[in-house]
Structures are given as structure tokens and as C-alpha cells.
Amino acid sequence: MFWNQEYAPSLGGVEIYTQNLAHKLAAKGHDVLVVSSHSNESFDRHAIIEGIPVHRFPFFQALTSRDHAAIFEIQKEVAGLRQRFRPDLVHINFTDASPFFYLRTKPRKDAAVVVFHSPLDTAPGGLQLGKTLAVQVGRLIAPSRFLASHLEEVLSLPEGKVEVIRNGVHEGRFLKTYEASSAEPVFVFAGRLVRDKGVQVLIEAFSKLTARHKAKLRIVGAGPERALLEEQISRMGLRDIIEFAGMLPQESLARCMAEAAAVVIPSIFSDPAPLVATEAALAGKAVIASKIGGLPEIVLHGETGLLVEPGDAGQLAGVMEKLLLEPETAKQYGKRARGRAIAEFTLTAMTEKYERLYQELLSDSLV
């Protein structure tokens, strides 16, 4: 049983991670069920999505409105769902309010793992929920050493208490070879259009680059910053060379990356383990990324890509120019990135690690 903030058709890093893992486990013969928040009223409360049963509840709305009747009703529904499904193991993705309802409905003895996908909110509510999970859940996981160290610090845990399992990418999609169709060099950004992702810095850097060289920029994703970014692009006179591609399914994103001179991840916050970095690596692309958060664990500077100081548009333009002028260097970075990704960052490798962890938890629960 997975506990999630969102699930398909929502498309974010955690949603893709859960969807890929759920399908891989189901294909190997495991019964899988997803419990998620219900933030979009157009989504069915109960549905079968590509063979995976999904049950959505208004977790966040009930807690923020302090609607005790709604909280009680959700607990009752979840408890009934647990009783019917009788999960051997629970996999909690801690990104929102759903773990509160897990804790309110869990049996006394429960085989469970909690995976933290982002730095823990140190506000009293989030911190207390994290501390409670750390005590009551058997194993704690993070997708990067950066995030594991952060959790050990804020939760006052001993070093090594939080294990690292790297996020895996669907190799069947990103290992394919696609023919590039763009005549000009294209740089690609993929992610949510929010300020923390640094797209505004990338646009500024691209403006400096295209003052000297011909190139295009493709921005994949959606989010609340799009209107501001479009305004910035118009103000800089870049409309003809910057394209908004919107949200793309995984296969289309893989094809888009195939055309890239490099994939750029200009984050200005401590992104713990952005999935796009591993997707680009598996696609065999050099990555230019900010030297922050968990990115240096995925992008090895001077080996599989290049790292820059977050927020430095001048430095970012400089390394984009370097790869533009040295396509063979970019190709070698991409080749080494793909080799490392095949060994460490595939969905198959991640699933095998989780299966071993699940088996250890189930063995411990029988003691």
C-alpha cells in the first residue's frame, strides 16, 4: 500500500516515481494499491489507473479547515480500506498531510517504510510529524545523501539512520535512440515552472549566450511562474528562440532530450534529487546543473556534466557556451552519464533495492 500526496494523471517527480515503482512491482506479481490526497475535484475518488487501484481522500483540506467530522470520516474510510486490502507492507511518501492519516489508522504492529522526498518543513507541525514517523516507522529512506544528512540533523537522528536509495528512471523510455530533428543546437529545461527551479536565471543566461551564438531553448513543464517567464522572454526579445513545450509524457520528454545539446537544471534551492537529472543521464545527455542540494551526487563535474553556482547567469552562460563550442566534450559527458545511470539510476535497480528492503521489513515483523 502506497501513501502519496498525488498520483496520475498528476505529473510531478514523486508521482512519476510512485507510478513507475507501482507498475514495476505489479508486473513482478505484487498486489499494489495507492492511497493519495484528493486535491483535484475532477479526479475520481476511486479508480483503476492502468491496472493500479487508486483511492483519493481530501487529507489536506480536512486538516487545514480543522473539520473534525471530515477528519473522523476519512479515518473511518481509510481504516475500512486497510481492513479490506490487508497490506503486508506500507510505503509512505512523505510530502504532505497524508502521513497524519496513516498514523491515525495504523495497527499497533505494521511493516512500513517512509521515503522523504524533500527537506523537512521545520515548522512545528511538519517537524513533529517527521519525528513521530521516525519513531513509529521501521525504515527511513532518502533519495540522496544530502537529504539523508539533512533529516538526521533536523530529526536528531544518528548518522546513517536514514538510508539512501537513489530514484530510478524507466529505462524502457529513456534508453531508446531518437533521431534529432532540430537544425540548431537546443538546450532543454524540464520541471515545474516555479521560482525555485531557476528558469528566470536560465533565460537571462540564454540571452547572454545568444548574443554571440545561434541556439534555441525549450522549456518543458507547467506552473504558476509561466506568465512571468513569458513576460521576461518578451522583454528580452527572445520569443523566436525560446519555446514553451508544456507538460510532456515520459516518451515525449525522452525524445525532446535526444535533441538537446545539454539539459540544464538551474535550481536556486536545495533540490534533493531531481528526477530530470537522472532521466537526462539515462538518455545519454550532458547536464549543466546548479552546485546545490543533491545535484552534485548525480552530475559529476567534469565527468558527466558541469556544475555552476546557483543564480549566477554569467557563469551559466559560460558553461552553456563551452558545450556549444565543444560538442565532442558534451557527447563524452553524456556517454559517461549513461553508463553510470545504467548501473545506478534505473527503475530496475531501484525496484530491486526496495524489494530487498521490503523483505527485510517483513522478516523483522515476524520476529
Measure CA 203 to chain center.
23
Average pLDDT, the chain: 92
pLDDT (0 to 100) of residue 181 = 58
Structural domains of the chain sorted by starting position, each given as residue range(s) with its CATH number in brackets = 2-168+347-365 (3.40.50.2000), 171-344 (3.40.50.2000)
pTM of this structure: 0.89
Distance CA 294, CA 165 (A): 13
Mean pLDDT of 239-257: 93
Distance CA 305, CA 330 (A): 8
Residue 102 neighbours by CB under 8 Å, 6+ apart: 3, 90, 92, 112
Does residue 183 sit in helix, strand or coil? coil
Q: Is there a contact between 154 and 120 (Cβ–Cβ < 8 Å)?
A: yes
pLDDT (0 to 100) of residue 14 = 87
Is residue 125 very low, low, confident or very high in pLDDT (cuts 50, 70, 90)?
low
Looking from the CA of 163 toward its CB, the CA atoms found within 13 Å total 11
The sign of the torsion formed by the CA atoms of 173, 174, 176, 180 equals positive
- Range with the lowest mean pLDDT among 8-22, 94-108, 116-130, 317-331? 116-130
When computed from its CA atoms, the radius of gyration of the chain, rounded to whole angstroms, is 21
What burial class does residue 24 get, using C-beta atoms within 10 Å of its C-beta: 0-12 exposed, 13-18 middle, 19+ buried?
A: buried
Q: Is there a contact between 177 and 258 (Cβ–Cβ < 8 Å)?
A: yes
Mean pLDDT of 209-217: 96
The closest alpha carbon to 111, from 141, 145, 88, belongs to 88
pLDDT (0 to 100) of residue 24 = 95
pLDDT (0 to 100) of residue 37 = 86
Mean pLDDT of 86-102: 89
- Which residue type does 332 have? Q
Distance CA 11, CA 8 (A): 6
* Maximum distance among all Cα pairs of the chain, rounded to whole angstroms: 67
- Which residue type does 33 have? L
Q: Which grid cell is 340?
A: 553510470
pLDDT (0 to 100) of residue 179 = 63
77 DSSP assignment: H
Percent share of the chain, pLDDT over 70: 95
Distance CA 221, CA 13 (A): 12
Distance CA 247, CA 218 (A): 12
pLDDT (0 to 100) of residue 140 = 96
Distance CA 187, CA 363 (A): 48
Does residue 237 sit in helix, strand or coil? coil
DSSP bridge pairs for 218: 188, 243
Statement: residue 123 has pLDDT above 60:
no
Torsion of CA 259, 262, 267, 272, to 10 degrees: 90
Count other Cβ atoms within 10 Å, centred on residue 48.
Answer: 9
Distance CA 329, CA 335 (A): 10
| Vertex 62: Cα angle to 77 and 80 (nearest 5) | 5
Is residue 262 very low, low, confident or very high in pLDDT (cuts 50, 70, 90)?
very high
Q: Is there a contact between 274 and 165 (Cβ–Cβ < 8 Å)?
A: no
Is residue 365 very low, low, confident or very high in pLDDT (cuts 50, 70, 90)?
low
Task: Give per-residue pLDDT as tens, 304-358.
Answer: 999 999 999 999 999 999 999 999 999 999 999 999 999 999 999 999 999 999 9
Mean pLDDT of 142-150: 96
Q: Is there a contact between 16 and 168 (Cβ–Cβ < 8 Å)?
A: no
Residue 30 neighbours by CB under 8 Å, 6+ apart: none
Residue that wins the pLDDT comparison between 107 and 325: 325
Residue 108 neighbours by CB under 8 Å, 6+ apart: none
Task: Give per-residue pLDDT as tens, 41-80.
Answer: 778 889 999 999 999 999 888 888 888 999 999 999 999 9
User: What is the helix (H) or strand (E) element at residue 49, kind and residue range?
Assistant: strand 46-49
